[in-house]
């Protein structure tokens, strides 16, 4: 008899195997176009998983998470603008600058909780959005075209399949790394902070340090997702940093199931697939998507992961 | 080890404690007694750094801890088992214990999870159960184990057996006696005078936020008027 944790691990493994087999399956079906859609799913899955670290495990509801997606993407765009094409420089810079931005924002915002944290994260996110709008040198409101993908020697990110597998590998590393993190002592304290912050203090831990560390790790990972997004679109605009985009990442995380990591991947698969296919059926696709999300939230407290497992609570959302 | 002098504290301008003096020596077990609303939990919260005092001094092991944030007070060696237990519901029993384990003072025989499980054998089969699924007694065992794993110099138990079944209470008292026998200094509040008089060395009585009396267990047991006046029992 498998334990809940074993079932969850097995389901995650099956999900990753399915994602790994997607490009050859699509090629076999003569639908290689959808590899690009799959890449978009993976990129947003990385962003949603990063949000899950602070939302599902740290209890921090961020409405400004897309800011890091934009910072990562703009880092690649601006480096390309100045003729730097080295992929290692692109991705390391995207991660480092996102980490610094997350550190600056987190140092101020993680002192707060609840509605105050939501408002501060929203305010910082929108500040960066308007900063991107105002910098006309890099396209301002119109956005910035990127001449070519990041160069990694023999690896051509211009090839949709290569970009898919690079995104997939990063997602696997992120999932594995964060799974280790949330089950480490650091993760235990972070989850304890989510449940009872004052109590954690009386045990001898400063919740601030734990929350800030998680916030910076989360922002860094989301910045890497932004670098991938810039490589996929070869275009970056302030819209990627708008709070509406943060809301979408939040919905993906909640839809799949907070505090599960793999739930964020499921949420991304479902949200982006529905967005794509519903928008082809009707221009009023949001009118269908909205009620669907409401139904999942109402009838699957632990998100789609818990719903698929046939139970409401599986540690999901409450970890 | 703990020296409190002239301590005053309260909530939002409403003073609850008035010039409290209290001391606890190493290895000593001291109780805080008094009717509901007399300031026992307020005093404990002030010692633990949850509440900032308005006046007075708190020294612990030679250091001034008055006004320090609660996590720094805990790092000085004060382990708190709060009223209501407050086990982390989203962490398993093992995680509740692992998350807090710390040997900050390089003790010769620090508390380990194995030692806590030996003290509370009932927790062993529940190690992988989330805190939210534990009974009140099990939660209290986890709360005490969690505090012990910080290897405190002073263990504070606020309402140690409140809301527990009589058999569970007895088990908790037995465990506290074992911890005392190891030389652990303890400050306890509870309503079970009989058990407290068996375990504790001294008793402080709080009345309307002031220390009204300090006596030994003999005086507490032999003087029904004293119990009636300060405890209503």
Please report the pLDDT score of residue B108 as a whole number: 72
A301 interface with B at CB cutoff 8 Å: no
The 10s digit of each residue's pLDDT in B159-196 is 888 888 888 899 999 999 999 999 999 999 998 888 88
The 10s digit of each residue's pLDDT in A143-198 is 999 999 999 988 889 999 999 999 999 999 999 999 999 999 999 999 999 999 99
Handedness of CA B61, B66, B67, B73 (dihedral sign): positive
- Asked if pLDDT for residue B228 goes beyond 80, the answer is no
Please report the pLDDT score of residue A108 as a whole number: 92
Q: Has residue A316 been placed in a domain?
A: no
Q: Has residue A319 been placed in a domain?
A: no
Q: Has residue A313 been placed in a domain?
A: no
Give the range of the structural domain holding residue A129, as residue numbers without chain letter: 4-308
Percent of chain A's residues with pLDDT above 90: 77
Please report the pLDDT score of residue B230 as a whole number: 67
A137-146, A288-297, B35-44, B218-227, range with the lowest pLDDT: B218-227
Handedness of CA A177, A180, A184, A189 (dihedral sign): positive
Show residues of chain B in contact with A206, CB under 8 Å. 69, 71
Inter-chain touch A199–B104, beta carbons under 8 Å: no
Please report the pLDDT score of residue A182 as a whole number: 96
Distance from CA of A201 to the nearest CA of B (A): 4
Q: Say which residues have a Cβ less than 8 Å from residue B196's Cβ, sequence separation at least 6.
A: B31, B33, B188, B190, B203, B217, B220
- Asked if pLDDT for residue A318 goes beyond 80, the answer is no
A201 interface with B at CB cutoff 8 Å: yes
**Mean pLDDT of the residues in chain B:** 89
- Asked if pLDDT for residue B34 goes beyond 80, the answer is yes
Candidate ranges A146-155, A300-309, B222-231; pick with highest mean pLDDT: A146-155
Distance from CA of B156 to the nearest CA of A (A): 11
Residue A65: band (very low, low, confident or very high) from pLDDT cuts 50, 70, 90? very high
Residue A201: band (very low, low, confident or very high) from pLDDT cuts 50, 70, 90? very high
- Asked if pLDDT for residue A319 goes beyond 60, the answer is no
Q: Find the Cα–Cα–Cα–Cα dihedral B43, A189, B152, B52, rounded to 10°.
A: -20
Inter-chain touch B146–A203, beta carbons under 8 Å: yes
Inter-chain touch A192–B150, beta carbons under 8 Å: no
The CATH number given to whatever domain includes residue B166 is 3.40.50.300
Residue A302: band (very low, low, confident or very high) from pLDDT cuts 50, 70, 90? confident
Q: ipTM of the assembly?
A: 0.85
* The length of chain A, given as a count of residues: 319
Could you tell me if A252 and A44 are in contact, meaning their C-beta atoms sit under 8 angstroms apart?
yes
Stretch 204-233 of chain A: residues touching chain B, C-beta under 8 Å = 204-207
Roughly what angle, to the nearest 10 degrees, separates helices A185-195 and A160-183? 80
Residue A290: band (very low, low, confident or very high) from pLDDT cuts 50, 70, 90? confident
A6 interface with B at CB cutoff 8 Å: no
Question: Among candidates A196, A82, A63, A212, which has minimal Cα distance to A147?
Answer: A82
Instruction: Provide DSSP, B21-65.
Output: EEEE-TT-EEEEE-STTSSHHHHHHHHTTSS--SEEEEEETTEE-
Residue A310: band (very low, low, confident or very high) from pLDDT cuts 50, 70, 90? low
Q: Could you give the number of structural domains in chain B?
A: 1
Residue A306: band (very low, low, confident or very high) from pLDDT cuts 50, 70, 90? confident
Please report the pLDDT score of residue B217 as a whole number: 83
Q: Has residue A227 been placed in a domain?
A: yes
Q: Cα–Cα distances in Å, from B87 out to B2, B117, B213?
A: 26, 16, 33
Chain B residues within 8 angstroms (CB to CB) of chain A: 48-50, 69-71, 73-75, 79-80, 82, 86, 88-91, 95-96, 98-100, 102, 104, 130, 132, 146-147, 150
Of A201, A315, A318, the CB nearest to B70: A201
A189 interface with B at CB cutoff 8 Å: yes
- Asked if pLDDT for residue A98 goes beyond 90, the answer is yes
Q: Could you give the number of structural domains in chain A?
A: 1
Beta strands at B202-207 and B154-157: parallel, antiparallel or unpaired: unpaired
Distance from CA of B159 to the nearest CA of A (A): 16
The 10s digit of each residue's pLDDT in B3-18 is 999 999 999 879 999 9
Please report the pLDDT score of residue A2 as a whole number: 63
Q: Between chain A and chain B, how many beta carbons pairs sit less than 8 Å apart?
A: 69
Could you tell me if A111 and B69 are in contact, meaning their C-beta atoms sit under 8 angstroms apart?
no
Give the Cα-Cα-Cα angle A158, A160, A161 (nearest 5 degrees): 120
Task: Average the pLDDT over B121-145 and give the result.
Answer: 92
Q: Say how many C-beta atoms besides its own lie within 10 A of residue B154's C-beta.
A: 22
Give the range of the structural domain holding residue B11, as residue numbers without chain letter: 2-231
- Residue in chain A lying closest to B147 (CA): A203
- Asked if pLDDT for residue A5 goes beyond 80, the answer is no
**Dihedral-angle region of residue B19 (phi above 0 means left; psi in -120 to 50 means alpha; beta otherwise):** left
Inter-chain touch A195–B88, beta carbons under 8 Å: yes
The CATH number given to whatever domain includes residue A121 is 1.10.3470
Interatomic CA distance for residues A272 and A47, integer angstroms: 13
- The residue ranking higher by pLDDT, A8 or B78, is B78
Q: Say how many C-beta atoms besides its own lie within 10 A of residue A134's C-beta.
A: 10
Burial class (CB in 10 A: 0-12, 13-18, 19+), A180: exposed
A305-314, B84-93, B206-215, range with the lowest pLDDT: A305-314
Beta strands at A155-156 and B29-33: parallel, antiparallel or unpaired: unpaired
Q: Cα–Cα distances in Å, from B166 out to A110, B131, B162, B163, B197?
A: 43, 22, 10, 9, 17
The 10s digit of each residue's pLDDT in B101-129 is 877 777 777 889 999 999 999 899 999 99
Q: Give me the residues paired with residue B156 across strands.
A: B80, B187
**Mean pLDDT of the residues in chain A:** 91
Could you tell me if A286 and A274 are in contact, meaning their C-beta atoms sit under 8 angstroms apart?
no
Residue A286: band (very low, low, confident or very high) from pLDDT cuts 50, 70, 90? confident
- Structure tokens that stand for A229 in this block: 């997004």
- Asked if pLDDT for residue B48 goes beyond 60, the answer is yes
- Asked if pLDDT for residue A49 goes beyond 50, the answer is yes
- Asked if pLDDT for residue A90 goes beyond 80, the answer is yes
Distance from CA of A111 to the nearest CA of B (A): 14
Please report the pLDDT score of residue A315 as a whole number: 42
SS (H, E, C) A67-122: HHHHHHHHHHHHHHHCCCCEHHHHHHHHHHHHHHHHHHHHHHHCCCCHHHHHHHHH
Task: Average the pLDDT over A35-60 and give the result.
Answer: 97
């Amino acid at each position: 008899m498998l334990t809940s944790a074993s079932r969850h691990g097995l389901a995650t493994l099956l999900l990753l195997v399915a994602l790994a087999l997607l490009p050859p399956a699509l090629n076999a079906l003569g639908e290689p176009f959808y590899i690009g859609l799959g890449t978009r799913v993976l990129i947003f899955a990385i962003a949603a998983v990063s949000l899950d670290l602070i939302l599902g495990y740290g209890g921090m509801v961020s409405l400004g998470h897309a800011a890091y997606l934009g910072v990562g993407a703009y880092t690649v765009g601006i480096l390309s603008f100045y003729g730097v094409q080295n992929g290692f420089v692109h991705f390391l810079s995207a991660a480092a600058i996102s980490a610094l931005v997350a550190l600056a924002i987190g140092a101020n915002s993680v002192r707060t909780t609840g509605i105050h944290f939501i408002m501060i994260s929203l305010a910082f996110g929108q500040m960066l959005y308007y900063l991107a709008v105002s910098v006309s040198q890099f396209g301002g409101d119109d956005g910035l075209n990127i001449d070519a993908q990041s160069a990694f020697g023999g690896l051509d990110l211009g090839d949709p399949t290569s970009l898919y597998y690079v995104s997939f590998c990063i997602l696997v590393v992120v999932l594995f790394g964060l799974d280790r993190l949330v089950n480490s002592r650091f993760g235990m304290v972070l989850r304890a902070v989510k449940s009872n912050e004052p109590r954690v203090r009386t045990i001898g831990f400063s919740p601030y340090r734990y929350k800030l560390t998680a916030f910076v790790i989360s922002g860094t990972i989301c910045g890497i997702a932004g670098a991938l997004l810039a490589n996929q679109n070869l275009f970056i605009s302030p819209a990627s940093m708008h709070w509406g985009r943060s809301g979408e990442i939040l919905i993906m995380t909640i839809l799949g199931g907070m505090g599960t990591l793999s739930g964020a991947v499921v949420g991304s698969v479902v949200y982006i697939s529905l967005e794509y296919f519903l928008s082809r059926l009707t221009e009023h696709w949001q009118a269908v998507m909205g009620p669907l999300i409401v139904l999942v939230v109402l009838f699957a407290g632990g998100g789609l992961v818990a719903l698929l497992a046939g139970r409401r609570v599986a540690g999901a959302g409450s970890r | 080890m703990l020296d409190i002098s002239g301590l005053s504290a309260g909530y939002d301008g409403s003073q609850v404690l008035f010039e409290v003096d209290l001391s606890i020596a190493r290895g000593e077990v001291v109780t805080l007694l008094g009717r509901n609303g007399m300031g026992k939990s307020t005093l404990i919260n002030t010692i633990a750094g949850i509440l900032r005092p308005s006046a007075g001094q708190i020294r612990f092991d030679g250091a001034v801890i008055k006004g320090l944030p609660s996590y720094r007070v805990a790092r000085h060696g004060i382990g708190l088992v709060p009223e209501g237990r407050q086990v982390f519901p989203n962490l398993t029993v093992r995680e509740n214990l692992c998350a807090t384990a710390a040997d900050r003072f390089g003790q010769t025989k620090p508390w380990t999870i194995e030692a806590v499980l030996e003290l509370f054998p009932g927790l062993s089969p529940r190690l992988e159960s989330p805190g939210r699924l534990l009974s009140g007694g099990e939660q209290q065992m986890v709360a005490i184990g969690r505090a012990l794993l910080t290897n405190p110099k002073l263990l504070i138990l606020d309402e140690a057996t409140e809301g527990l079944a009589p058999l569970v209470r007895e088990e908790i008292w037995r465990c506290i006696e074992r911890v005392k026998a190891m030389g652990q200094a303890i400050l306890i509040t509870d309503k079970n005078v009989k058990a407290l008089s068996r375990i504790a060395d001294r008793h402080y009585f709080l009345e309307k936020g002031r220390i009204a009396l300090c006596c030994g267990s003999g005086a507490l047991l032999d003087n029904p008027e004293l119990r009636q006046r300060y405890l209503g029992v």
